[in-house]
Amino acid sequence: MFLRFQPIKPLTIKKSGIIIAGIVAVLSFGFTAFAVQQAGPQPSPKLLDANNHTLVLIDHQPQMAFATQSHPIEIIRNNAALISKASKTFNVPVVITSVAAKSFSGPVFSEITEVYPNEKIIDRTTMNTWEDPNAYKAITGKGKKKIVFAGLWTEVCIVGPALSAIAEGYEVYVITDACGGVSSEAHEMAVERMIQAGAIPMTSLQYMLELQRDWARQSTYDAVNNIAKEHGGGYGLGIKYAKEMFNAQEGKK
């Protein structure tokens, strides 16, 4: 009896291409994993640091505050102070702008101007900061591809520049609890709209702690703790308690 062997069919070009692509993918993954292992743990490029963004504070003014109903105004003032002090501590580039300060809306909150007494405030007539030539030049002139916005009202004066900046290729972050709208719905829908367009929401305390990120960073340690104690609510109270009761300190193992 004779055994009949079937000849092995050569791989088709299509199958060969798939195999080659698979080999390339495996090798690429291996080289990438090796490179990451050699470099050590790296933070996400989506995280903010002191050098990669500009903070833009928009229309934190009395007339805008009077109609704000989404948050208690004392909370917004507190958070405006927190992010102002945090940005100052880390030397973040900042742009402060107002709308019709002399004729309608009044001065920028003292919580901001006391931190930045020498910062020029760019006054506008436009509701959309991005459409004001001086404000646009000041923001884009900082040369940062990430922009962090906070201000009043969320649904008008934050949505406008946020969507406009995204359209020009900037990465946009919005500090939602340092913003406010004429109603909770107005604020929430504005935040949703910006998220759908690609904006990244965050909160005031989160902003500061994201800049610190390591309690062993002693150059800003005391300043961050002092800001948290003054403006960080229950978290700040916890810091006071721990330090006074146990002399506790983050950054020590």
What are the extents of the domains in the chain?
A: 53-208, 214-246
Q: How confident is the model at residue 7 (pLDDT cuts 50, 70, 90)?
A: low
Give the DSSP H/E element, type plus range, for residue 73.
Answer: helix 73-89
Q: Tell me the three state secondary structure of residue 40.
A: coil
Choice among 94, 157, 165, 227 that is catalytic? 157
The answer to which of 6-10, 184-188, 204-208 has the lowest mean pLDDT is 6-10
Is a pLDDT exceeding 50 seen at residue 43?
A: yes
What is d(CA 97, CA 99) in angstroms, rounded to the nearest whole number? Answer: 7
Is a pLDDT exceeding 90 seen at residue 249?
A: no
Catalytic site residue 179?
Answer: no
What integer is the mean pLDDT of 198-223?
97
Query: Which has the closest alpha carbon to 187: 101, 72, 84, 56?
Result: 72
**Range list of H helices, 126-183:** 133-140, 159-167
pLDDT attached to residue 1? 47
pLDDT attached to residue 16? 56
Task: Tell me the torsion sign for CA atoms 62, 63, 66, 69.
Answer: negative
Token digits of residue 122: 């760019």
Token digits of residue 31: 């080289």
Is a pLDDT exceeding 70 seen at residue 106?
A: yes
Half-sphere exposure of 126 (CA within 13 A, CB side): 14
133-157 pLDDT, tens digit per residue, is 999 999 999 999 999 999 999 999 9
**Percent of the chain beyond pLDDT 70?**
83
Is a pLDDT exceeding 80 seen at residue 23?
A: no
Q: Which residue shows structure tokens 């702008």? A: 97
Residue 23 is classified by DSSP as H
pTM above 0.75, yes or no: yes
What is d(CA 149, CA 155) in angstroms, rounded to the nearest whole number? Answer: 13
CATH class of 53-208: alpha beta
Give the DSSP H/E element, type plus range, for residue 65.
Answer: helix 62-66
The answer to which of 22-26, 94-98, 202-206, 225-229 has the lowest mean pLDDT is 22-26
